[in-house]
A and B are shown apart, each in its own frame.
Chain A
């Protein structure tokens, strides 16, 4: 296998590792997959970063963090709750990908009223047994519309793309680690 060149080590003292939390709200996990698409650069990243709450760890609650990466928009009450927790505990909060930035594909339901959607989802499904709709208190309430993150909390950075490329995510993370202002530049900004 060919190995990618190891990234140049930043000339910084062996400082405390940057603590990073990640979550997927109303997203498809594609942005998290794109983060893993940094491939073996992941091991270089782990020299400088430690993960807090994230789908790849078993930490269930977000702690005090330097950076929060959020994929997905807001489609239910629980998404809003998790977003507020991230905002309260992360110094820098980054909206990752189309859904976090503008609602993305899940927001396609926004032109439909929720009661009508409820009716039609059940009645367009030819195989289902009708007559029962999930109603347990354990299920969070869907919001009437899917919302982007910045409508609810302050977002510090936005990384566009569906999903953003691994190179774009790598650039932002390495800029943050080096204390530079994050800048994507030509070739890394795209929206598809």
Chain B
């Protein structure tokens, strides 16, 4: 399988430029670009450079431990992993249906997370590019620069994130890596005092989210040619959609559309995900490349996340976000928008929807209930799927009679977007870099395209590498602590016998 600019014909004759590390994203990634003497771009790749092995070392752990352990995949969206694993483990304890209190407290936790993660991404990480320009001075392109030039914008970003984190703390026990969700339900409801505390701020938060949507629309309006064309490519899209066709981050069925908006599949029970999604491995990234099985690897890759979700659903249940969704759909004139920078617009619509949903849940007395857990016939296999801030997140486990995990498979949001991000940066490289003298500002254009997808690269590290290499780890006194050699055939030897 080949894509334009994925693999140069004679890489040894070309000059290499690297962006290492990609900054203002979560996780560890780098971009390499190969250019010829005339600075024509021949190859562009986003590499995920780290390996964890969660799927393997989770085996042998008790199932009830998993929702807390797997959060350590990602400190930005730990709640996503907490809840996807909990949903999978609900099937192990036979909780086919949660109590209303448990389901609503979990939803509150999840929508709190969508709010904080989207605020962090837009204000702390991306707003400098959009406010100052992609090629603006590198030293100013950060939240500190925003705080100096646009103090109110920076302050609201920080306080929006704080509110989302507080919703998580109230429902999960801790802002990061909490313990509130357990197989079969939750271990804590919301207290009346906690509800009052959150209700004090929620109306201001909804208002600020509306302002954030307005801000991103204004940015589009100031330079529509840039926002509609930057890094644009067409692809399929996939997300969960709620039972009523509405936008839903916590539960639903899988729906996919092609690049024209035509539905490819709909109403798919996510427990059948393996029939619809396959993954491919490429030699130059630890991150795998998923694709829709029916279309094959070359045509079946797709986008997930806000841009896919907002265009995939039929409606949004909350009125302010629904009005914004309609305006977005009208802007496109009936055909899907594929522009990466439109991710920001849809992300802010989702943030508004999250705030409205939190407000509604805070007014629902079920969150104060004391019926927290459900159980039923013991199961052996569980599959849990949620829409994480960055897209569809799939957790799949098998558990043996001793309650220990025997299989774990994770397909995380950012992995779904792997091919899409690579396509976006190849388009940007061809349009902005090729044939020109490479400057820091031009290289930041590549990162702007990556950031639009809000990648979470440490979530996305699945596989192992294989190359002939030798590394020794030496401590502060010069003593060798560890030594490792890996040969081209994949054989790995440890210690001096390399």
Q: What are the interface flags for A78-115 relative to B under an 8 Å C-beta threshold, 1 for contact and 0 otherwise?
A: 10100000000000000000000000111011011111
A77 at the interface (CB under 8 A from B): yes
Tell me whether B409 and A127 are in contact (CB under 8 A).
Answer: yes
- Docked Cα-Cα span, A141 to B464, in Å, equals 9
17 extra interface residue pairs, beta carbon distance < 8 Å, beyond A74-B473, A135-B488: A40-B159, A55-B26, A56-B24, A57-B141, A120-B56, A133-B466, A134-B464, A135-B467, A136-B285, A137-B467, A138-B47, A139-B285, A143-B482, A147-B482, A151-B481, A152-B481, A163-B177
B484 at the interface (CB under 8 A from A): yes
Set of chain B residues within 8 Å of A1, measured between Cβ atoms: 159, 163, 201, 204
Tell me whether A134 and B409 are in contact (CB under 8 A).
Answer: no
Chain B interface, number of residues (Cβ within 8 angstroms)? 97
- Docked Cα-Cα span, A114 to B482, in Å, equals 13
Given contact pairs A33-B75, A56-B143, A144-B492, A139 touches B52 in the complex (Cβ within 8 A): no
Tell me whether A124 and B56 are in contact (CB under 8 A).
Answer: yes
Tell me whether B76 and A29 are in contact (CB under 8 A).
Answer: yes
Set of chain A residues within 8 Å of B47, measured between Cβ atoms: 136, 138-139
- Docked Cα-Cα span, A162 to B75, in Å, equals 10
- Docked Cα-Cα span, A128 to B494, in Å, equals 28
- Could you show 6 A-B contacts with beta carbons less than 8 Å apart? A28-B74, A29-B26, A56-B143, A124-B59, A135-B466, A141-B484
Set of chain B residues within 8 Å of A137, measured between Cβ atoms: 467
Q: Which among A36, A42, A136, A143 is the interface contact of B471 at CB below 8 angstroms? A: A143
Set of chain A residues within 8 Å of B143, measured between Cβ atoms: 42, 56
* Nearest Cβ on chain B to A8's Cβ, whole angstroms: 20
Set of chain A residues within 8 Å of B98, measured between Cβ atoms: none
- Docked Cα-Cα span, A55 to B124, in Å, equals 11
Which stretch, B239-247, B272-280, B365-373, touches the partner chain A? B272-280
Q: Which has the most chain B C-beta neighbours within 10 Å: A24, A105, A118, A134? A: A134
Q: Which among A34, A134, A140 is the interface contact of B281 at CB below 8 angstroms? A: A134
* Nearest Cβ on chain B to A35's Cβ, whole angstroms: 10
Give the A-binding residues of B (Cβ under 8 A). 19-21, 23-28, 30, 32, 45, 47, 49-53, 55-57, 59, 69, 72-76, 78, 120, 124-125, 138-139, 141-144, 147, 154-155, 158-159, 161-163, 165, 174-177, 200-201, 204, 273-274, 277-286, 288, 290, 396, 407-409, 411, 444, 447, 458, 462-467, 469, 471, 473-476, 481-482, 484, 486, 488, 490-492, 494
Q: Which among A24, A105, A109, A134 is the interface contact of B465 at CB below 8 angstroms? A: A134
A27 at the interface (CB under 8 A from B): yes
Tell me whether A105 and B69 are in contact (CB under 8 A).
Answer: yes
- Docked Cα-Cα span, A74 to B475, in Å, equals 12
Tell me whether B465 and A126 are in contact (CB under 8 A).
Answer: no
Tell me whether B283 and A121 are in contact (CB under 8 A).
Answer: no
Set of chain B residues within 8 Å of A33, measured between Cβ atoms: 75-76, 120, 175-176
Q: Which among B158, B286, B396 is the interface contact of A139 at CB below 8 angstroms? A: B286
Q: Which among B147, B174, B284, B288 is the interface contact of A46 at CB below 8 angstroms? A: B147
For chain A, which range describes its interface: under 10, 10 to 19, 20 to 34, or 35 or more residues?
A: 35 or more
Tell me whether B55 and A125 are in contact (CB under 8 A).
Answer: yes
Q: Enumerate the 7 nearest inter-chain pairs by beta-carbon distance, A residue then B residue, closest first.
A: A30-B75, A136-B284, A135-B466, A105-B72, A28-B75, A108-B57, A29-B75
* Nearest Cβ on chain B to A149's Cβ, whole angstroms: 10
- Nearest chain-A residue to B74 (Cβ)? A28
- Nearest chain-A residue to B165 (Cβ)? A37
Q: Which among A27, A43, A113 is the interface contact of B155 at CB below 8 angstroms? A: A43
Tell me whether A126 and B409 are in contact (CB under 8 A).
Answer: yes
Tell me whether B23 and A58 are in contact (CB under 8 A).
Answer: yes
Set of chain A residues within 8 Å of B45, measured between Cβ atoms: 138
Tell me whether A36 and B53 are in contact (CB under 8 A).
Answer: no
Set of chain B residues within 8 Å of A43, measured between Cβ atoms: 147, 154-155, 158
Set of chain A residues within 8 Å of B278, measured between Cβ atoms: 127-129
Tell me whether B24 and A58 are in contact (CB under 8 A).
Answer: yes
- List A150-174 residues whose CB lies under 8 Å from chain B: 151-154, 162-163, 166
Set of chain A residues within 8 Å of B201, measured between Cβ atoms: 1-2
Given contact pairs A46-B144, A109-B53, A58 touches B488 in the complex (Cβ within 8 A): no
Given contact pairs A29-B26, A30-B78, A147-B482, A152 touches B473 in the complex (Cβ within 8 A): yes
- Docked Cα-Cα span, A179 to B28, in Å, equals 33
Tell me whether A147 and B155 are in contact (CB under 8 A).
Answer: no
A145 at the interface (CB under 8 A from B): yes
Set of chain A residues within 8 Å of B411, measured between Cβ atoms: 127
- Nearest chain-B residue to A122 (Cβ)? B463
Given contact pairs A112-B56, A114-B492, A128-B281, A31 touches B75 in the complex (Cβ within 8 A): yes
Q: Which has the most chain A C-beta neighbours within 10 Å: B21, B23, B24, B465? A: B465
* Nearest Cβ on chain A to B62's Cβ, whole angstroms: 14
* Nearest Cβ on chain A to B285's Cβ, whole angstroms: 6
* Nearest Cβ on chain A to B463's Cβ, whole angstroms: 6
- Nearest chain-A residue to B159 (Cβ)? A1
Tell me whether B464 and A117 are in contact (CB under 8 A).
Answer: yes
* Nearest Cβ on chain B to A21's Cβ, whole angstroms: 12
Tell me whether B409 and A124 are in contact (CB under 8 A).
Answer: yes
* Nearest Cβ on chain B to A50's Cβ, whole angstroms: 8
Tell me whether B158 and A42 are in contact (CB under 8 A).
Answer: yes
Q: Which has the most chain B C-beta neighbours within 10 Å: A50, A76, A140? A: A140
Q: Which among B72, B286, B481, B488 is the interface contact of A30 at CB below 8 angstroms? A: B72
Set of chain A residues within 8 Å of B494, measured between Cβ atoms: 113-114, 144
Tell me whether B467 and A51 are in contact (CB under 8 A).
Answer: no
- Nearest chain-B residue to A3 (Cβ)? B159
Tell me whether A76 and B283 are in contact (CB under 8 A).
Answer: no
Tell me whether A127 and B279 are in contact (CB under 8 A).
Answer: yes
Given contact pairs A28-B73, A29-B27, A134-B286, A121 touches B56 in the complex (Cβ within 8 A): yes
Set of chain A residues within 8 Å of B467, measured between Cβ atoms: 135-137, 139, 141
- Docked Cα-Cα span, A107 to B26, in Å, equals 20
- List A17-55 residues whose CB lies under 8 Å from chain B: 24, 26-34, 36-37, 39-40, 42-43, 46, 50-51, 55
- Docked Cα-Cα span, A46 to B143, in Å, equals 10
Tell me whether B279 and A125 are in contact (CB under 8 A).
Answer: yes
Set of chain B residues within 8 Å of A50, measured between Cβ atoms: 144
